[in-house]
Chain A
């Protein structure tokens, strides 16, 4: 496959966006879904072929996977050595990501054909989906850090558009703004981080950047590691700030607050953006720069603890939420926490690279079962017209396919063998076990919690009480809604057998892995215990959950209120920033800046008025001003300033 056809992978969705954006609403409203789906199908096929060729034909040199620059176009040449390029880089993680992104996006496109049918802005919806897919593909294929930043922002914009799709709903508008502002704030850190890294390495290109900053003898590295600010080296600052951007997009603590609210968007959008693609961008970013991170223990420690804490924190909250999409949102945050700390405990190359591989593996499997969960939740919401658990229950008979696929996904995320999640989670736990026992125990506990809250969700939706939902005609939804569920369920079962260890590793060399059954015993037993607990509490309607909640008292309320994080942010922004900084700033702006501006403006207006009086017909004035100017220059530059 020629290099130019690789460019088609992102360009096809872009073309769809342009066509649907310009002509969609007027002319193509009826065909928008088909156009979007077909163009993405082509894109998916090309990316599968590209990934196949990379992994099995062209990618390996001497048994090691090498990054290949497929296309490069020098866009802005600053100096002979530094330029902003637009390029496509092929390497194992990029290949894995394009497959995941195009595939999940394709599923979402198909699902939306039924789910979004009859929407007034149907074409706009598909245009936005295409824009998002384009940006995400551009992001993962970027060959330099500036390009990734541009696509990063584009992803932010398109997710803003999609979350706020129901713009007549105030909560959706608020959620889209929140998501945009929070991630934008984190992106500021990202940009500063990029500038620091690029400044110290004098390049923006990933390959060169990594080569220069991982060679302890290179002058660039010495420069970056030597320069320090408040006792922390420039390199660490750069990496931590870059990670900050990643944490924003990946909803890591404390930037996670936008993710639950973002559930206001259409559910298939959540499946695409908030399960499989955009939220893992942060993980992808850390993995992309992993060789540099691996060289800097301090930055990697930050990644580890932020990841581990987010995993636990989100899992606790997820146990108490009643909105099914919010449960899934927190579960996403928790699983991404897994991926993050797994990267954090990894080392570059060899056995130590297990964490890296495990993280990528989990990213891969998680994409399938989590988007399946979201799409399943979408199908449920489609039927019940509510997000609340109390409006559901007993749906297993009404929607058998959704029920089975949802169950598969729950088993996968809980880590029950032989479903996909088991394999990847096992690798993560193993990696944590070998390098950081504390993180390991946190992860172990969290995995039990995961099984619990996922089955709480499952039983509440499909069992619990007798269904009181009336058959309202559209039942389980159209074929286009069921088909993606089944396909994704197949992957949720089998993705774990994918030989990712030999394909995607930190140093490009195949990694020997094996499942240690004795080791897996504990996590699996914990998961089963979690499931049993959930089944005893939620399988049929009873008062036990309520009494437990009462017993736990404050802790339950705190978790239910998401540990008051939103309130904390509100307090900080409204009470502290607005009052202590905003108001004085507004006062200064109003009285001093405006006053000064008005003074300037009034004075200049006065002067120009006066001059106008002088000017009319009196050209002599011009000449004299001119002459004064010349004299002033003479005085200044011959006598004073020479």
Chain B
């Protein structure tokens, strides 16, 4: 009798704790069945359905979140993790809304959604992992389908090139990381996150393991010097996929990084702090210096997002809960800002195939609203008050400063000035520069409009409303 109750309890736990993953899996299966049964032929209706399901999925993320572990500690979740997953859900929804223009004439819409959501599922498992094994499985589940959707401009050779580059370099990074994980197992005898913190000491073999794991993360986060794949892949991939790569995939990696780095390696904090210090300086500076010279706007955003990642790492480097909440908060702001910018670029790219900053000269002439949207988004990315980006950066820098490493803070702040320059360069092209044949009026569909307005509202209001930041803080 008792045992039976226990089983039932475990079963309900199973459904409650795994809710985000189950909900995603459910959507994937619905889409698969439609595909197999050849039920829906019209692209637009598939996209409507997918958007609807993603919206439901996002709303579900708000209710019934619990704390607990499953599969003998392999999987764990809590309020913060539930919020993180829902941030990812939200970003994916926005990207899906923005992708309409590109997908409506594509031949393989269902496959796109299935692959996309599979990577998201992988990220969910990764964020929830309580064990390196689970983490690695999630990571691979998130990476391999991603390479497939990078290749989704099927007739474009650049797109395929990007996919090949991505899959090969990511395999290489995975190898290194796996090596690190095996070293951890070899020296400590366990891969369980709960047991590891006390077992990791200043043992050189474990430092080596830390370096391998760290570089694996750095690769996924496109931190310098492991960022080389980023620009090529971003440039080659379809715009919505680039947005997905630069926002969702980064955010997921940051979430995992937060829950792995300090909690597991707290005994060797001084070692990873130095590694982070070096990485942050390189990432912010080199990302910025490269961004200055880009003409392709996607490449430009790729490099600027590298430098943004540097700032997130700055928050993480504090190793405090303030750093964690600042990073999570910044990522929300970053999703709004970056997707605001990508949303406009996606519209322009889908209708005119133009992707260069010089093409945007005189953009304001025919596209007033879109110009303002991309300007506000870029201002937020640059951290100009009173946009949310300013508050996000301010919290990150404040968190980073708590370590008392002012050299790092000064370098970061100087780089903010540099970044101001190149973001304003785009704004200048849009508003000031003359162009004989500026981009014609871009027709935006309802989905993109909704997505863009949500992003704008987010940029303007998340900064002022302290509710969000307080909420994140309350989850610590």
Interface residues of A (CB under 8 A from B): 74-78, 600-601, 604-605, 608, 611, 615, 617, 619, 621-623, 625-626, 628-630, 632-634, 636-638, 641-642
Contact = CB atoms under 8 A, between A and B. Distances in A.
Contacts of A625: 225, 228
The CB with the most chain A CB atoms within 10 A, among B161, B164, B229, is that of: B229
B292 A76 contact: no
Interface in B310-332: none
B172 A623 contact: yes
Contact of B168 (A619, A629, A634): A619
Nearest to B282: A629
B47 interface: no
Closest 4 A/B residue pairs (Cβ): A629-B225, A604-B289, A622-B228, A605-B293
A250 to B, nearest CB: 27
B39 interface: no
A632 B282 CA distance: 13
Contacts of B278: 636
A78 B208 CA distance: 38
A639 to B, nearest CB: 9
Contact of A642 (B161, B214, B225, B271): B271
Contacts of B229: 622
Interface residues of B, number: 37
A534 to B, nearest CB: 52
A632 B226 CA distance: 12
Given A608-B290, A641-B274, A630 B212 contact: yes
A601 B290 contact: no
A626 B211 contact: no
Nearest to B165: A619
Contacts of B305: none
Given A623-B172, A626-B172, A629-B225, A637 B275 contact: yes
Interface in B439-469: 464, 466, 469
Interface in B135-166: 161, 164-165
A315 B214 CA distance: 72
Given A608-B290, A619-B169, A638-B204, 11 more contacts: A75-B466, A77-B469, A601-B292, A608-B293, A611-B228, A617-B161, A622-B169, A626-B228, A628-B225, A641-B274, A642-B202
B215 A633 contact: yes
Contacts of A632: 225
Nearest to A633: B211
B226 A626 contact: yes
Contact of B169 (A608, A623, A628, A630): A623
15 contacts: A76-B469, A78-B398, A601-B293, A617-B161, A619-B168, A619-B169, A622-B169, A626-B169, A626-B172, A626-B219, A629-B215, A633-B211, A634-B208, A637-B211, A637-B271
Contacts of B211: 630, 633-634, 637-638
Interface in B240-288: 271, 274-275, 278
B73 interface: no
B230 to A, nearest CB: 10
A373 B14 CA distance: 79
B173 interface: yes
Given A600-B289, A637-B275, A630 B470 contact: no
Contacts of A630: 176, 211-212, 215
A611 B168 CA distance: 18
Contacts of A77: 466, 469-470, 473
A642 B211 CA distance: 13
B377 interface: no
Interface in B167-220: 168-169, 172-173, 176, 202, 204, 207-208, 211-212, 214-215, 219
Nearest to B215: A630
Contacts of B274: 637, 641
A633 B275 CA distance: 8
A85 to B, nearest CB: 10
B232 interface: yes
Contact of A629 (B164, B226, B293): B226
Contact of B232 (A601, A615, A623, A633): A615
B208 A638 contact: yes
A76 B466 contact: yes
B89 to A, nearest CB: 27
Nearest to B391: A76
B271 A622 contact: no
B207 A604 contact: no
A604 B290 contact: yes
A633 B208 CA distance: 9
A642 B214 CA distance: 16
A640 to B, nearest CB: 10
Contacts of A634: 208, 211
Contacts of A76: 391, 466, 469
A134 B214 CA distance: 53
Given A601-B292, A638-B208, A74 B466 contact: yes
Contacts of B172: 622-623, 626
A597 to B, nearest CB: 9
Contacts of B228: 611, 615, 621-622, 625-626
A634 B173 CA distance: 16
Contacts of A642: 202, 207, 271
A534 B278 CA distance: 77
Nearest to B272: A637
Contacts of B271: 637, 642
Nearest to A617: B161
B463 to A, nearest CB: 9
Nearest to B271: A637
Contacts of A636: 278
Contacts of B214: 633
Contact of A604 (B161, B164, B208, B293): B293
A537 B398 CA distance: 66
A638 B289 contact: no
Contacts of B391: 76
A113 B50 CA distance: 58
A625 B165 CA distance: 14
Nearest to A84: B466
A601 B464 CA distance: 36
Interface in B384-436: 391, 398
A474 B184 CA distance: 92
The CB with the most chain B CB atoms within 10 A, among A611, A629, A632, A638, is that of: A629
Interface in B284-313: 289-290, 292-293
A623 B165 CA distance: 10
B217 to A, nearest CB: 12
